[in-house]
Amino acid sequence: MLSGRGLAKRYGEQVALAGVDIDIHTAEALAVVGPSGSGKTTLLHVLAGILRPDGGTITLHGQRIEQLSETKRSELRRTEFGFVFQQGMLVAELSAEENVALPMLLGGARRKDAIAAAREWLGRLGLAGREAARPGELSGGQAQRVAIARALTHRPKVIFADEPTGALDTVTGGDTMNALLSAASEAGTAVVIVTHDVELAGSLPRSVVIRDGRIAEQVGVRR
Amino acid sequence: MIPVQLAFKVLRADRRTRTATALTALGVAVATGLVLLLLSLPFATQARAERAVWQEPYGSQGDGPPTLLVEASTDFTGGEQIDRIDVAALADGIELPDGVPELPGQGEVLVSPALYQAINRLPAEQLADRFPGTIIGTLGDDALRFPEQMVAVVGHSPDRMPSTANERAGFVPASAAEVDPVLSLLAGVGVVVLLVPSLVLVASSARLIAARRERRLAALRLAGATPRQVVTITAAETGIAAVVGALLGWAVSPLLRMLAGLVPWDGGGWMAGDFRVPAGLTALVLVVVPVLVVLAAVLGLRRVVNNPVGAVVEHTPKPLRWWRLLALPAAGLFFFVAIDRGDDATMVLLGLALMIGSAILVGPYVTSVIGGFFVQRWRKPSGLLAGRRLRNDPRGAYRASAGVVLAVFTGSMALTLMPSFDAMAGGGGTYRDSVLMVESAGERAGEIADRTNAALARYGVANRAIAIPEVVLQTGGNSGYFALVMTCEDAVSVFRVQDGCDGPGVYSDDLTDVDGLQVSGSYQGQGVPLPPDTPVKPITQTDSDGSPPVIVDPSLLPAGITAEDGRVVVDTAGANPEVVRTALLGAADGASIYSRGVYLGGQHDQLDDLRRVTIIGVTVAAVLAGCSAAIATAGSVMDRRRTLGALMAAGTPTNVLARALRMEAALPALVATIGSGLLGMIAGLGLFSLFQEGKDNVAAVLSPWLAAPVVLGFAVALLAASVCTPALNRVRAEPLADE
């Protein structure tokens, strides 16, 4: 579904990616692991179209996306991808349901429909009753689940998660990860998770290990 | 020492802190420079007054016997005023004012450089002949109100001085000079309306890194720093910017003073050294401004000082209370009570400052209410984001509009006052604008008219002067009608009256008969009845500005009436008015010549002065406001960089976020500009009532132009808000980069 071939990216003299080939298949869950500075987050940003690679190609359903304009890539990210970040990155002023509804609203959905979808996803992620709470009133785990709901509301093809449990304790992190994976599975959405957590990576069907900007190892098979 | 080292370390390491510090320093520099300039205005007017007070014939004088005779009059050439001082020494050893090289004797004249140039430039019959005698020197700058002032000191022997001359024990000393009250009031208004936008600019630039600093300080608190240490670090950080800014402002203040010196007021510019501020006051400003900036920064630390954890996690702010709205009527009440009392300009200025200050309390509350409305009614995500932001942080959202509010308030106030002042202009009697008139003793009027006509004939001018005796038509009990003895035809030629002459008679727009009236040469003089059956005829003015005098035909004046006062008039129409003026002035020995045209021109010049300083003031306020709003908008993007970056990474188009940010700025700006426009108009009406005293027939003028500051203010706010686009583009370049 989403493929990268020969992906290269440099930051000045520093090589972040040095010819990475990777495939993400429909509804699969993939972990990207590796030491700090190995290029994990850069790979995620390049695959998601946030950064443009210096070399290589990215295709989504056979369509090249790295050559698209920033506007087109933004539209792609808004419609085809979802994102979960370490800190949640919720809009502090908006309530939980408004945060979740935001991507749909930005895509032109009606207020009523967007809010209804947001409430549904919040309920599925165990946050019923917390719709009106602001991010500051939520626990870390709850905030991450709001971020997961936000990433899933518009039914994306792929969710990119960058250290989604990095700021959570082990138990909360585990619960949050389960919530993400089961919700994505229900929606038929692929999940790409960048993590330091070897245990978490091991629990996923497939993981790739990155070192010095290259894929050093692939573990597991496509489910 | 550690806090200061830390402050420098942060400054060296962090580019955005450096940018914000530079902007804070710039804001402080602008504020300091403006404050020093505004404080120098009273000193500048004082310096002017001290240099020129010797030109006055009346005022403070030393003890001892009279040493000189002084008379002062004003003359005009080409619309420019000439101050003429006629002097005669009564004793030797008279102490001369600074800049006056010697006291001219009989037949000698001292002139200012500007007048000397004009005399050399113009034909003698247009100017030089007005000053009998030889020019023996020029006056120095120390004797002039402003460099281009035209002054003539005409020397006489005591017996040739005008009878109205004042006997004095020396010239009026500089210590007796009084400051121009209008300019003092304007300087006060300037301080009020420009200081606040300057401080808003400082606050806005300091806010650029407020959220970032709060997180850093919270981390320090969590690492064990005491509240005192955090406060010291903040004081050191802002102190560096504030002190550098204040010194920079002080350094550039001579440039501002030089620019201010180019702005003419009351007929001319300023001397280089006029705009000075005493060293003590300068030092006070250089201490107080940075201290205020540091205090403001430290007071903003309450949250991190009280609870460091509260600063690192998001929080729900307390809603603002409705009682904030009460600040406005309270300030308005104070202002209008001060206006009503009308005897203390300081209280009026304080009222004005309170009205402006009340916006700080009212503005955020209104912003919060607007936000609440949009939170309920939003249709698009930009409306939701803007509404939530306004509701969540009304103080921060209002901050962007605060400067604009001030500029609109000032502009609306000025636009209420200016047309009203224009409407107040006029008056100046019933003479035609082209007529020159000089007052004289009754018995001298004929002689002056004859000498004027002789001079006019010599200059080849056909116009002729008319001597007009002044009489009183007594009604009894020391009251009566003031009347001019002249033919109706002569009256029609010099006054703005309709030509309804119908032979000899008493012409009046008020009297219907003269039964019981007696004519005399003065109010106290013995009255003589007018001839029986004296006809009374109507005379009608061609406009509504004033009313025509009573005219008595010379043929009806009983014999034996000697007018105590008189006047000589000459119409300049069809001739060179400067030549006619020279002829009349020479004949009248330098007495002041009245001209309605010059009188109205003087009013026009005063209004121009007022307009000029208003336009400069409002422009400066608008520029400061625009800068504050732009900086506040950029700060708002910087504060939320991570959130906005995440939204962009998730595909939110920049233009949607830019629209939301512009809406954030536009909504409070719209309400604030309309509100401040209305307030400015009300304050303008209040101030106008001060000047209106005794002129109840002149109403304030409210023109459609009053909407201009509101529209322009809103446009400035929108323009300033547009900086969010480049700021967002910077975020878009690296949406997920760490701060």
Distance CA B631, CA B205 (A): 6
For A17-65, how does the pLDDT look when each residue is reduced to its tens digit (9 = 90+)? 988 899 999 888 899 998 888 888 889 889 988 888 999 999 988 889 8
Q: What structural domains and CATH numbers belong to chain A?
A: 2-220 (3.40.50.300)
- What ipTM was predicted for this assembly? 0.71
What pLDDT does B696 receive?
Answer: 60
CA atoms of B85 and B83, how far apart (whole Å): 7
Whether A94 and B384 lie within 8 Å, measured CB to CB: yes
B643 and chain A in contact, CB less than 8 A: yes
pLDDT score recorded for residue B316 = 57
pLDDT of residue B659: 83
Question: Least CA distance to B394: which residue of chain A?
Answer: A93
Residue A94 has pLDDT above 50, yes or no: yes
Candidates A9, A46, A93: best to mutate against B (most CBs of B within 10 A) is A93
- By three-state DSSP, how is residue B525 classified? coil
Q: What pLDDT is stored for residue B219 in this prediction?
A: 67
Q: Is A103 on the interface with B (CB under 8 A)?
A: yes
* Gap between the Cα atoms of A89 and B645, Å rounded: 9
Output the pLDDT for position B497. Answer: 87
- Closest CA of chain B from A17, distance in Å: 17
In angstroms, rounded to a whole number, what is the distance separating the alpha carbons of residues B569 and B580?
11
| B280 interfacial to chain A (CB closer than 8 Å) | no
* Residue B81 scores a pLDDT above 50: yes
Q: How confident is the model at residue B465 (pLDDT cuts 50, 70, 90)?
A: very high
Which range of B344-358, B409-423, B431-445 scores highest in mean pLDDT? It is B431-445
Query: Are the beta carbons of B72 and B577 closer than 8 angstroms?
Result: no
What DSSP character marks residue B600?
A: H
Instruction: Say how many Å lie between the first and final Cα of chain B, rounded.
Output: 27
Instruction: Residue B199: count other Cβ atoms within 10 Å of its Cβ.
Output: 22
- Convert the pLDDT of each residue in A157-210 to its tens digit: 899 988 888 777 777 788 888 888 888 888 889 999 998 878 888 888 888 999
Check CB contact of A77 with chain B, cutoff 8 Å. yes
Q: What pLDDT, on the 0 to 100 scale, is given for residue B383?
A: 81
CA distance A149 to chain B (A): 13
pLDDT, tens only, B252-263: 999 998 898 888
Burial B121-149 (b: 16+ CB within 10 A, else e): ebeebbbbbbbbbebbebbebebbbbebb
Residue type at B456 in one-letter notation: L
How does pLDDT run across B91-110, given as a tens digit for each residue?
A: 888 889 999 999 999 999 99
What is the sign of the dihedral through the CA atoms of A133, A134, A140 and A144? positive
Using a CB-CB distance cutoff of 8 angstroms, which residues of chain A are in contact with residue B651? 73-79, 81, 103, 106
Are the CB atoms for B731 and B644 separated by under 8 Å?
Answer: yes
Asked if B643 lies within 8 A of A78 by C-beta distance, the reply is no
A21 to chain B, any CB pair closer than 8 A? The answer is no
Nearby residues of B17 by Cβ (< 8 Å), 6 or more positions away: B10, B11, B209, B212, B213
The torsion angles phi and psi of B302, rounded to 5 degrees, stand at: -50, -40
**Given phi > 0 = left and psi -120 to 50 = alpha, else beta, which region is A188?**
left
A132 touches chain B (CB under 8 A): no
Report chain B residues whose CB lies below 8 A from the CB of A151.
Answer: 650
Q: Which residue has the higher pLDDT, A207 or A108?
A: A207
Which range (A48-57, B16-25, B242-251) has the least confidence? B16-25
Does B651 touch chain A if contact means CB atoms closer than 8 Å? yes
Average pLDDT along chain B? 83
Look up residue B265 and give its DSSP letter.
B
A92/B392 touch (CB, cutoff 8 Å), yes or no: yes
* Facing residue for A92 by CB, picked from B378, B643, B650: B643
Compute how many other C-beta atoms are within 10 angstroms of the C-beta atom of residue B711. 12
Three-class SS state of A194:
strand
Give me the sign of the Cα torsion angle B721, B726, B730, B735: positive
SS3 per residue for B19-71: HHHHHHHHHHHHHHHHHHHHHHHHHHHHHHHHHHHHHCCCCCCCCCCCCEEEE
pLDDT above 70: residue B697: no
Question: Could you give the CA distance from residue B540 to residue B494 in angstroms, rounded to a whole number?
Answer: 14
Which residue is associated with the tokens 């597991």? A220
Q: Is it the case that residue A223 has pLDDT exceeding 50?
A: no
Helix, strand or coil, per DSSP, at residue B735: coil
Q: Are B611 and B415 in contact (CB under 8 A)?
A: no
The 10s digit of each residue's pLDDT in B369-427 is 888 888 888 877 778 888 887 888 888 778 777 778 878 888 888 888 877 777 776 66
Q: Which of B671, B625, B675 is nearest to B358 (CA)?
A: B675
Distance between CA A18 and CA A214 in Å, rounded?
6
pLDDT given for residue B312 in this prediction: 47
For B46-80, how does the pLDDT look when each residue is reduced to its tens digit (9 = 90+)? Answer: 898 899 899 988 877 777 788 899 988 888 888 88
Do B385 and A77 make contact, defined as CB atoms within 8 angstroms? no
Token look-up 């004046």 returns B557
A163: left (phi > 0), else alpha (psi -120 to 50), else beta? left
Is the Cβ pair B643, A89 closer than 8 Å? yes
> To which H or E segment does residue A180 belong?
helix A170-187
